[in-house]
Amino acid sequence: MALPPDYWAKIDADTVPQIVSDIPGPRSTELHERGVTHMIGYSSQVKLFPVAFESGHGVTLTDVDGNRYIDFSSGIYVTTLGHCHPRVSEAVAEAARTLMNCHDFNTPVKVELLDKMAEIQPWDLRGIQLYDSGTTAVEAGLRVCRAATGKHEFISCFMDFHGKSGHAVSLGKMNESNGPGRSQGFYLVPRPNPHRPMFTTADGEIDTDAYLDFYAQFIDNATTGQVAAFVLEPIQGWAGSIVPPDDFFPKLRAFCDERGILLMADEVLTSMGRTGKYFCMEHWDTAPDVVTIGKGFGNGFPVTAMMVSDRYKEAIASISASTSYGGNPMACAAALASIEAMEEEGLLAHALELGDFMLAEMRAIRDRHSIVGDVRGIGCLLGLELVKDRETREPFEEAGKLVYQRAFERGLAWVPAWHILRMSPPIVMDFDVAAKALAIIEEAIDEVERELGYSA
């Protein structure tokens, strides 16, 4: 479904990007130097390209030096509807003028949002609690899984990312800053990666059943048998937009049911239109027991949620689930307006069409460039993987860094992940602007291939 011609975010692709100074420009450089004297722990995005942004509209960002960029990041999967969508901005402003916070008392907009969240899903996840960060929602989901099952162990997957607090960190890849190990009772197992499979069939295809056989052996031999839940991202984001084979989640659902294990889908990154569905798990017709949502939920306003199946929703009452900021009127207004905009503007269908278009263009880029090993994604959650050799699939991290920077210099704001370049444009983007962005990426790949001595 195409967007209407007078859509508020529509721009002429010939007018973007617009670079009017060296980038990072002098004002960006000054602000960054002032900022780093106080703030520690900037993301790799900022470290690789320290611009300072001043404003955003639709699918564009403008920095403090007046340079205008195509946004291929959405504030790292957050501004799904584009920057300053008028419906969301007006809803937040009206709430801020009326009532900012009343703890967890009900308000009209909160109840409307809860009704809408129950309505848009194909499942029975009607036990809902609202939060202000993805990590908080994940931590609450873990507590619900423990309360609902009486078990205490969790299994997640290699290269998962679920947050930055104690137990959420223990669900993901560890590094030296996490200390000597993860929290007790948290385990990691491999998950199917079609581009880098650990288990394959005799004819070289990825073998989902072999992963499940491994999980069974792992539970029997490496846990106490008290596994409360499998916790997974439907599509791994931080790992590089890793899409599992289509049979993985249906088979994992059956595996969990056979063993009395809950299935918790961490959809903080993948939900609310990012993949062309409200929930990414809909692509595989698989119902989770617990879901966490966030990022694009409020189109930039900090609002997240944990949703629990009717079978287990009474467990929410046992975990002291309320928070100071979760469900405040401004947050609920932002989330409700975002859902209504997706419904009324046909944005889920547009996201799927846009994703199909971009994947086709990315496959053509892959075919023209030897260092592009794989392209993948669903909807507007996409990834492009760079390799030194397609046969060995050796990651090409140096190229990933350089392509990211060269494209940013040309006016594309996007997301790095070592040798994998992640793309998450707002789902309101027009096809011609998306094509322009991908052309910039290919120009950057061309330059880096020449610089590093690789032929196209």
Per-residue pLDDT of the chain (456 residues; tens, 9 = 90+): 556 667 888 899 999 999 999 999 999 999 999 999 999 888 888 888 899 999 999 999 999 999 999 999 999 999 999 999 999 999 999 999 999 999 999 999 999 999 999 999 999 999 999 999 999 999 999 999 999 999 999 999 998 887 777 777 777 775 655 555 568 889 999 999 999 999 999 998 999 999 999 999 999 999 999 999 999 999 999 888 999 999 999 999 999 999 999 999 999 999 999 999 999 999 999 999 999 999 999 999 999 999 999 999 999 988 988 899 999 999 999 999 999 999 999 999 999 999 999 999 999 999 999 999 999 999 999 999 999 999 999 999 999 999 999 999 999 999 877 899 999 999 999 999 999 999 999 999 999 999 998 876
245 close to 206: Cβ distance less than 8 angstroms: yes
* CA 64 – CA 53 distance, rounded (Å): 6
Q: Tell me how many degrees the CA angle 239-242-248 measures, rounded to the nearest 5.
A: 125
* CA 6 – CA 16 distance, rounded (Å): 18
Q: Mark which of 59, 94, 120 sits at the end of a domain.
A: 120
Q: Mark which of 120, 143, 174 sits at the end of a domain.
A: 120
Is the C-alpha dihedral spanning 117, 118, 122, 128 positive or negative?
positive
Predicted TM-score of the model (pTM):
0.94
Same domain (yes/no): 98, 220: no
Residue 446 maps to a domain = no
Same domain (yes/no): 241, 104: no
Helix (H, G, I), strand (E, B) or coil at 4: coil
438 close to 362: Cβ distance less than 8 angstroms: yes
Q: What is the CA radius of gyration of the chain?
A: 22
Same domain (yes/no): 158, 254: yes
| Cα distance between the two ends of the chain | 35
- How distant, in Å, are the alpha carbons of 123, 140, 285 from that of 147? 21, 11, 26
Token readout for 126 is 């009607």
Residue 390 maps to a domain = no
The per-residue pLDDT for 418 is 85
Task: DSSP letter for 243, please.
Answer: P
325 close to 101: Cβ distance less than 8 angstroms: yes
In CATH, what number is assigned to the domain containing residue 271?
Answer: 3.40.640.10
- Name which of 343, 353, 364, 340 is nearest 429 in CA terms: 353
Residue 229 maps to a domain = yes
Residue 434 maps to a domain = no
Token readout for 166 is 């104690």
Range of the domain at 102: 85-120
The per-residue pLDDT for 162 is 77
- Name which of 430, 436, 427, 425 is nearest 361 in CA terms: 436
* CA 453 – CA 196 distance, rounded (Å): 25
The per-residue pLDDT for 43 is 86
Burial of 120 (0-12, 13-18, 19+ CB in 10 A): middle
Residue 55 maps to a domain = no
- How distant, in Å, are the alpha carbons of 40, 81, 163, 273, 408 from that of 424? 26, 11, 19, 11, 15
Same domain (yes/no): 116, 244: no
The amino acid present at 307, given as its one-letter code, is M
The per-residue pLDDT for 456 is 63
The per-residue pLDDT for 255 is 98
The per-residue pLDDT for 175 is 61
* CA 128 – CA 150 distance, rounded (Å): 20
The per-residue pLDDT for 169 is 75
- Name which of 121, 162, 115, 114 is nearest 142 in CA terms: 162
Same domain (yes/no): 264, 316: yes
Token readout for 30 is 């000054």
* CA 183 – CA 188 distance, rounded (Å): 12
Residue 140 maps to a domain = yes
Phi, psi of 208 (to 5 degrees): -60, -40
111 close to 333: Cβ distance less than 8 angstroms: no
Same domain (yes/no): 244, 195: yes
Residue 95 maps to a domain = yes
* CA 176 – CA 193 distance, rounded (Å): 25
Residue 180 maps to a domain = yes
Same domain (yes/no): 157, 237: yes
Token readout for 308 is 């629990």
The per-residue pLDDT for 5 is 60
**C-alpha dihedral over 416, 420, 424, 430, to 10 degrees?**
110
Same domain (yes/no): 145, 279: yes
